[in-house]
Amino acid sequence: MNFRYDINGLRAVAVLIVVLFHFSVPGFSGGFVGVDVFFVISGYLMAQIICERCAQGGFLFYDFYMARVRRIFPALIAMVAVVLIFTGFILLPVEYDDLGLHAFSSILVFSNVLYWRESGYFDEDALDKWLLHTWSLSVEWQFYLVIPLLLVLVIRWRSGSYLVPLLWMALAGSLGLCVIASQYFEAASFYLLPTRIWEFLVGALLYVHAARLRWLARSLFLYIGLLLILSCTLLYSKALDYPSFWPLLPVLGAALVIGSAVRSPLLDNWLMQFLGKTSYSLYLWHWPVLVAAVYLGVELQAGTQAILFFCSLVLASLSFYLVEERVRRASGAASVFRFPLLSRDWAILAVGGAVAFCAGLVYWTNGLPIRLSNQIVAIAEEAESKNPRRDECFRPGKRLEFPECRMGTSSDEPQLVFWGDSHSDATFTGFADAVGRAGKSAIYYGRSGCGPALFQEVVEGDDEDDLSECLEYNQRAYERIVKNASVTDVYLAARWAAEKYQRGQADFSGLMCKLAAAGKRVHVMAPVPVYDKEIPDYLAHELMKGGVLTELERSLAQSFTQYREQQAFAFEQFAKAEQCAVQVLDPLPHLCPQGYCVPVRDGMPIYFDGGHLSERGSKLLTPMFYQSIMAAGDAS
């Protein structure tokens, strides 16, 4: 095959816009279209390889796949291995556990399926995934599994007379599926091959129709193609329902550049050719560099963006010359990895298998906790210390369901109701233990981000549908409580001063007074102190860096004055509710007995994040709830 300088330059364009998009450089909000350009290039080159070898009568599946192994896997294996080693020194077990699974799926080229099941490409937690970018490599490899079989069978069947119609049918079907699926299954349409294969097929058809498209061979179409790609880079953004039909423009742009087959100073210069040659390694390395920087607290500004790009380029150059080129130049009998008993290809597979095994070991051991001290592991594990009945009793949001989860005795007539948002879920165990000790029966109503109020304004930036469902949920819960004559006491817990509640002027006191007017005794738990750090993760990470726990506790200390200032909106609501004989329960004597608040007790966190109590913290409130329940029983 003749070297195509225009395609190599197009690779440079594709990788540059992807990297600059990921580094949040202004003007590249749609740089993710670079992946679509890569798909078109792959489709074109694979069709060329397969069709030419079939025409010569020399196509062998083994040779084809081993060539793909040599092209893709050495640099991928090296990158994954380095990431696993580097992160072994900085990640907590739960984080390393996730990375182990992601690394395993990347080597075995099914990471796109895994990420589809986890989250969307544009979600906020994307920067927590060190190998997210390997989804496109998995899609590409899955394409390699399909396209040779399809092309070879069709070419050899009736001399290939059905090749073009079948390729066009497959393209139309995949594109139609992509447009439809993007409306209902956005993550699946983004990550999976059936909705992406049409982009590869555009490249394949470009080669198949090459003789009829000779009129494209002029510079004008190269410049139009580049303009289309760069326009999408400038005008597109993650706000689009991508992919849908949006990739049509960058795909067409890539097709025009490839179809023109002309050399241009824009692409045929030293810099673009170098970036094109190293584009694969640059794509592999830029994302871990970015994730590492974000994980270590680096802010993405102009200066740091340039440094990150330089670091990515250095690593890409090392990868290209020490791995990609070394493998390419090694003879088939020689082992680039110096395994004398293995050929080059089998050595690649052996090393890949070893790295995959190590990644699997990280996952199967839950993040290799043996790397860390027992103290750090125990503290980090508190991040998962949540209500064990959470799935049974708590509604995460956007579901109008009322499981009426029971706690306490098995009496058919519950005397108590516990109601609130996620902070009530984080207090569930402490309340349930108190109910059981008091010999009472209770019902629980809990919904994420939905404080117990019957009115809250919609403000800009809020999810109007979610708020509407929340208020409907609260209205139904209120009606059930009022109509249930056996219920005498209602306990409310929430993050009363949350920003969304304050901005919407949530009328908590109004609901409390309505419950009181309906003959229910109302008890509201004042908010727990809230911190600006994820407590278990923060403590564990700082201890890994050599920090001292007592000093870390002092840095997190919060005075009662600070607490009251943070919770001002809550206490305004309570002041109004107290006029309706609502009792306010104070958690501070139980959470902060030393006269100030710290999110640690006896060397262990009492929060699983920055605001929600862990099971350890929840149980500290059992005496408070028990005293209130018994006092209410005595009063009746």
344-391 pLDDT, tens digit per residue, is 888 899 999 999 999 999 999 999 999 999 999 999 999 999 999 888
Domain boundary among 322, 346, 371: 371
Q: Which residues contact 485 (CB under 8 A, 6 or more apart)?
A: none
Whether 402 and 255 share a structural domain? no
Domain boundary among 342, 371, 400: 371
Please report whether residue 504 resides in a domain.
yes
Whether 181 and 222 share a structural domain? yes
Q: How far is CA 28 from CA 115, 254, 283, 565, in A?
A: 24, 17, 16, 42
Q: How many domains does the chain contain in total? A: 2
| Separation between Cα atoms, residue 42 and residue 200, nearest integer Å | 6
Whether 452 and 348 share a structural domain? no
Whether 367 and 386 share a structural domain? no
Whether 207 and 73 share a structural domain? yes
Of the listed ranges 1-5, 114-118, 444-448, the least confidently predicted one is 1-5
Domain boundary among 371, 399, 420: 371
Whether 312 and 387 share a structural domain? no
Whether 122 and 55 share a structural domain? yes
Please report whether residue 377 resides in a domain.
no
Please report whether residue 398 resides in a domain.
yes
| Separation between Cα atoms, residue 598 and residue 593, nearest integer Å | 10
Work out the widest C-alpha separation in the chain, in whole angstroms: 96
Please report whether residue 288 resides in a domain.
yes
Q: Parallel, antiparallel, or unpaired for β 441-446 and 405-408?
A: antiparallel
Whether 386 and 362 share a structural domain? no
Whether 210 and 352 share a structural domain? yes
Please report whether residue 470 resides in a domain.
yes
∠ at Cα 237 (45, 233), nearest 5°?
Answer: 45
Tens of pLDDT, residue by residue over 584-618, are 999 999 999 989 999 999 999 999 999 999 999 99
Please report whether residue 376 resides in a domain.
no
Q: Is the CB of residue 600 less than 8 Å from the CB of residue 529?
A: no
Q: What does the pLDDT average to over 451-476?
A: 86
Whether 303 and 402 share a structural domain? no
Q: How confident is the model at residue 396 (pLDDT cuts 50, 70, 90)?
A: low
Q: How confident is the model at residue 402 (pLDDT cuts 50, 70, 90)?
A: low
Q: How confident is the model at residue 568 (pLDDT cuts 50, 70, 90)?
A: very high
Please report whether residue 82 resides in a domain.
yes
Whether 469 and 519 share a structural domain? yes
Whether 437 and 468 share a structural domain? yes
Q: Is the CB of residue 207 less than 8 Å from the CB of residue 47?
A: yes
Nearest to 14, CA basis, from 293, 352, 279, 236:
279
Tens of pLDDT, residue by residue over 73-121, are 999 999 999 999 999 999 999 999 999 999 999 999 999 999 998 877 8
Query: What range defines the domain where residue 219 resides?
Result: 5-371
Q: How confident is the model at residue 525 (pLDDT cuts 50, 70, 90)?
A: very high
Q: How confident is the model at residue 415 (pLDDT cuts 50, 70, 90)?
A: very high
Report the CATH number at residue 562.
3.40.50.1110
The SS3 assignment for 546 reads: coil
Q: What does the pLDDT average to over 286-298?
A: 94
Q: How confident is the model at residue 403 (pLDDT cuts 50, 70, 90)?
A: low
Q: What does the pLDDT average to over 196-225?
A: 92
Tens of pLDDT, residue by residue over 472-520, are 999 999 999 999 999 999 999 999 999 999 988 999 999 999 999 999 9
